[in-house]
């Protein structure tokens, strides 16, 4: 009997040991490095000076394949790429504030600070502007950073607008097991019973539930209805959190219409085009009594942003250039920012 108990005990220890290792791996993968963290890692840990980094160094980084194609690898271009220096565009604490959310588009990837959407907006409207756009991210990543760094904004009641710039690939970034895992509690907490809430404290079990949610959302392809409803859930949850943080704010979602790069492939172009033209945006406006306002760059500019409005040399040929924001922002501000 003692021998059987001993065997069971040893097996339990082995199970706990391997489960712990798996949990650590899952947490590590689920909280993958962002692009800006990657460059920071290089500058802080690699034996070479930051200025001496080569493209090969970055391509060999063990998480993502490539970061920089033709931007110079120095401190200045690091800030132009995704540096943390751009969190604040402040003028005076007495002025009302705008918070911007999104990815590298609204961050100002590859641009000097004076060329960005935020600077153009501040020149026209005298607001304090806080940039919580995150390179390689989407709205959930912006909300996560906002939650963690909310003390940067001194008067939350003074935030009049939260502007989220949506671009074509946000739905692809959101619709992954890793993203659902990272934001599981935020997205599904209200629909999760007490028993499951206890179970998802364990990363391995949380991964199982995240995988189930992922396949539940994607079932029925090529029908896109489930994916539309998932994205609508993401916006609703984000909207509720924004209103908790900034009760006096109005949320503006800019749908960045553009001609997509050919290397995305036909299916991807069709897929993301379905979302940007979806009825969910009008539904969100109606359900929030107009407190979410949808703006399409196409409607303001009269055409899609094409190659003349994108950075000429970049890791990707889709980031908006200085001309794009210089021409778009005055028209946007005069119509939507009081």
Give the pair of three-digit tokens for residue 111. 């641009």
Same domain, 14 and 52: no
Looking at residue 205, its pLDDT comes to 81
How many residues are there in the chain? 338
Same domain, 229 and 268: yes
Same domain, 155 and 178: yes
Burial 257-267 (b: 16+ CB within 10 A, else e): bbebeeebeee
Q: Which residue has the higher pLDDT, 231 or 24?
A: 231
Looking at residue 292, its pLDDT comes to 95
Looking at residue 45, its pLDDT comes to 47
Would you say 117 and 165 are in contact if contact means Cβ atoms under 8 Å apart?
Answer: yes
Looking at residue 175, its pLDDT comes to 82
Domain that holds residue 8: 1-30
Looking at residue 1, its pLDDT comes to 65
Looking at residue 73, its pLDDT comes to 42
Same domain, 73 and 93: no
What's the pTM? 0.77
Same domain, 41 and 168: no
Q: How many domains does the chain have?
A: 3
pLDDT tens profile 200-214: 777 778 888 888 888
Same domain, 316 and 199: yes
- Of the listed ranges 32-41, 104-113, 286-295, the least confidently predicted one is 32-41
> Average pLDDT, stretch 294-306?
84
For residue 209, with 0-12 CB atoms within 10 Å meaning exposed, 13-18 middle and 19 or more buried, which class applies?
Answer: middle
Same domain, 130 and 229: yes
The DSSP-derived string for 283-326 is HHHHHTTTSEEEEEHHHHHSS-B-GGGB-SSSSSS-SB-HHHHH
Same domain, 136 and 47: no
Same domain, 41 and 121: no
Same domain, 184 and 78: no
Q: How far apart are CA 87 and CA 166, in angstroms?
A: 19
Same domain, 71 and 130: no
CATH number of residue 316's parent domain: 3.40.50.1110
Output the average pLDDT for the chain: 76
Q: How far apart are CA 160 and CA 97, in angstroms?
A: 6
For residue 156, with 0-12 CB atoms within 10 Å meaning exposed, 13-18 middle and 19 or more buried, which class applies?
Answer: middle
Q: Which residue has the higher pLDDT, 239 or 63?
A: 239
């Amino acid at each position: 009997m003692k021998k059987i108990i001993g065997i069971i005990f040893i097996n339990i220890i082995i199970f706990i040991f391997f489960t712990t290792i798996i949990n650590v791996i899952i947490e590590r993968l689920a909280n993958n490095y962002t692009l800006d963290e990657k460059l920071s890692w290089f500058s802080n840990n690699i034996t070479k000076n930051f200025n001496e980094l080569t493209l090969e160094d970055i391509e060999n980084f063990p998480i993502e394949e490539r970061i920089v194609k033709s931007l110079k690898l120095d401190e200045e271009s690091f800030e132009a790429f995704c540096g943390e220096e751009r969190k604040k565009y402040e003028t005076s604490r007495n002025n009302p504030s705008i918070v911007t959310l999104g990815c590298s588009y609204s961050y100002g990837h590859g641009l000097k600070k004076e060329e960005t959407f935020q600077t153009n907006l501040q020149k026209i409207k005298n607001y304090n502007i806080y940039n919580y756009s995150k390179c390689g991210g989407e709205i959930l990543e912006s909300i996560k950073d906002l939650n963690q760094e909310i003390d940067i904004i001194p008067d939350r009641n003074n935030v009049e607008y939260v502007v989220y710039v949506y671009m074509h690939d946000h739905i692809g970034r959101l619709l992954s097991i890793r993203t659902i895992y990272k934001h599981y509690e935020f997205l599904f907490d209200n629909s999760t019973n007490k028993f499951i809430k206890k179970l998802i404290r364990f990363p391995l079990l949380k991964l199982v539930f995240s995988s189930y949610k992922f396949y539940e959302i994607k079932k029925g392809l090529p029908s896109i209805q489930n994916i539309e409803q998932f994205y609508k859930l993401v916006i609703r949850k984000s909207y509720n959190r924004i209103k908790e943080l900034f009760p006096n704010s109005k949320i503006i979602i800019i749908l960045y219409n553009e001609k997509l790069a050919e290397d995305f492939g036909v299916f991807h172009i069709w897929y993301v085009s379905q979302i940007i033209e979806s009825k969910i945006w009008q539904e969100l406006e109606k359900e929030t009594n107009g407190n979410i306002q949808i703006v399409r760059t196409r409607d303001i500019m009269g055409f899609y942003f094409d190659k003349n409005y994108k950075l000429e040399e970049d890791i990707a040929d889709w980031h908006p250039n200085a001309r794009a924001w210089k021409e778009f922002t005055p028209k946007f501000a005069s119509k939507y920012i009081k």
